[in-house]
Amino acid sequence: MQYKTIHVEASRVYDILIGRGILATLGTLVRPLLGDCRLAVLTDSNVDVLYGNAIMDSLQAAGYNTCKFVIPAGEQSKCAGNLLAFLDFMASEQLTRKDAVIAFGGGVVGDLGGLSASLYLRGVKYIHVPTTLLAAVDSSVGGKTAIDIPAGKNLVGSFYQPSMVCCDTALMDSLPADIYRDGCAEVIKYGMILDKELYSTLHTLPFDREAVVARCVEIKRDVVQQDEYDNGLRGLLNFGHTFGHAIEKLSNFGVSHGEAVAKGMVIAARIAPLCGLCDVADELSALLVKYGFDIGCEYTATQVYEALLTDKKRRGGDITVVLPKAVGQCILHTMPVEELETLLSQVI
Ligand code: GLY
C-alpha cells in the first residue's frame, strides 16, 4: 500500500497518512500505536451507509474488538446531547484508558470525536479518519475539537491532538459536488496564504488530489507546530473565515462553510488594497468562480459587521483579520472594530 506520511511534532507527536485505498489497512496501521485494545468508532449516518462495513472489516481483520456509534449526518449533530450520548456509550461499552476512539467522518464527527476522546476518563487516544476534503485538509489536522452550543458554533472545545490521522482520498470519490467544492475553498485558502506554487497548480482542474491534500496538510502542520494554541500565526488559517463565519451565521447556515469562506476571502482581498496592501481580488475571484463558487455577498456591510462582532478572534475593541499581501502571502492585520465597519462599507 502506497501512502505519504506527514510527521507532526506538536504537544503530541503523530503521523498523518495519506493514500488512496488506505482504509483497508487501517487496522494494521494503528496496531503499532494502540496495541491490543478496544476501539469505539464514531461515524455519521451517511458515512456509515457507504463505508461502515469497510472500516469495521479493516479493524476486525487486524484482530480488534470494536463497537460503533452512529450520529445523524449534519452540523446539528455537533451538540452537547451527542457528546454526552457518545460518552455514555463508551462507558456502557466499558472502554478503559487503554482503549481508543476512531473518528470516521467529516468535520462534525472529527470535532465531536476529538472532544469526546479528550474528556472520556480525562483523555483516551483518538485517530481521525477524515472522509471529506474539508476535514482532510483542515479539521483533522491540528487538534482543535469542539461542539456547538446555542450561543454559537465551536464555542466549547479543547486542543487535543490525535494519535494518528489516516486519510483515504478514495473516500472522497462519493462526495456530492457541493461538499467536495467546500473543501476546494480551503485548498485555495492554503495557496493564497502561504504557497504561490500550490495556488498556481489549482488553475488546472481536476487537481491531483493526493498531492494537493498532502501539501495543504504540510502547510497546516508547519503553522500548527509554531502556534499550536492559536495565539498568533495560526490565525493565518482564518483567511476568509471572519467574514465567512458572519455570512454563514446571517444565512442561518443555509450558505455552506466553503461557500461562505469563498465569499469571505473575496471580501478580505477587496479590503487589502484599502489597507495599503496589493490587490489580488480579481485574480482570486476568477479562480473561485472557476470552481463554481458564487462570490457575491447578499448581505449589507452593516449586517456583516454586526454578525462578526461576536467573532472569537475579536479582542476587546480590536479585531484581527487576515489580508493578502500577495498571492501566496497573507498577513495578520489588527485594527479597531469600527475601522473594519468603514472598510466593509467600501467593499460590499
Ligand atoms: N481551522 C483553523 C485552525 O485549525 O486553526
Q: What is the pLDDT of residues 178-187, one digit of tens each?
A: 999 999 999 9
Question: Can you say whether the dihedral through the CA atoms of 303, 306, 310, 315 is positive or negative?
Answer: positive
Residue nearest to atom 3 of ligand 1 (CA): 237
CB atoms within 10 A of CB 81: 11
Q: Which of 138, 140, 194, 248 to mutate to test the pocket of ligand 1 (most atoms within 8 A of CB)?
A: 138
The Cα 36–Cα 334 span in angstroms is 49
Contact 163, 34 (CB under 8 A): yes
Q: Is the CB of 237 under 6 A from ligand 1?
A: yes
CB atoms within 10 A of CB 274: 14
Residue range 4-174 forms a domain whose CATH class is alpha beta
- The strand pair at 314-315 and 100-105 is best described as unpaired
Residue 239 CA, chain-centre distance (Å), reads: 13
Q: How many percent of the chain have pLDDT more than 90? A: 95
Mean pLDDT calculated for residue range 256-269 = 97
**Bond before 206 cis per omega within 30 degrees:** yes
Answer yes or no: is pLDDT of 94 > 90.
Answer: yes
Counting beta carbons within 10 angstroms of the beta carbon of residue 154, is it exposed (0 to 12), middle (13 to 18) or buried (19 or more)?
A: middle
The predicted structure's pLDDT at residue 315 = 67
Q: Is the CB of 261 under 6 A from ligand 1?
A: no
The Cα 94–Cα 100 span in angstroms is 12
Answer yes or no: is pLDDT of 42 > 90.
Answer: yes
The Cα 97–Cα 93 span in angstroms is 13
Q: Is the CB of 333 under 6 A from ligand 1?
A: no
Ligand 1 centroid to residue 237 C-alpha, Å = 6
Phi, psi angles (nearest 5°) of residue 106: -90, -155
**How do residues 231-250 score in pLDDT, each as one tens digit?**
999 999 999 999 999 999 99
The Cα 164–Cα 278 span in angstroms is 39
Superfamily of domain 177-347: Dehydroquinate synthase-like - alpha domain (1.20.1090.10)
Q: Is the CB of 189 under 6 A from ligand 1?
A: no
The Cα 318–Cα 335 span in angstroms is 5
Amino acid identity for residue 130 in this structure: P
Answer yes or no: is pLDDT of 208 > 90.
Answer: yes
Mean pLDDT calculated for residue range 22-39 = 97
Cell of 128: 481521525
Q: Which of 221, 238, 261, 313 to mutate to test the pocket of ligand 1 (most atoms within 8 A of CB)?
A: 238
Mean pLDDT calculated for residue range 329-347 = 95
CB atoms within 10 A of CB 56: 20
Q: Where are the domains of the chain?
A: 4-174, 177-347
Residue 20 CA, chain-centre distance (Å), reads: 20
Residue nearest to atom 2 of ligand 1 (CA): 237
Mean pLDDT calculated for residue range 34-48 = 98
Mean pLDDT calculated for residue range 121-129 = 98
Mean pLDDT calculated for residue range 316-320 = 86
Question: Can you say whether the dihedral through the CA atoms of 215, 219, 221, 222 is positive or negative?
Answer: positive
Domain 4-174 identical in fold to domain 177-347: no
Residue 18 region, left (φ>0) first, then alpha (ψ -120 to 50), else beta? Answer: beta
Residue 195 region, left (φ>0) first, then alpha (ψ -120 to 50), else beta? Answer: beta
The Cα 129–Cα 26 span in angstroms is 9
Contact 244, 290 (CB under 8 A): no
Q: How confident is the model at residue 313 (pLDDT cuts 50, 70, 90)?
A: low
Strand-pair partners of 320? 334
**How do residues 135-175 score in pLDDT, each as one tens digit?**
999 999 999 999 999 988 899 999 999 999 999 999 999 99
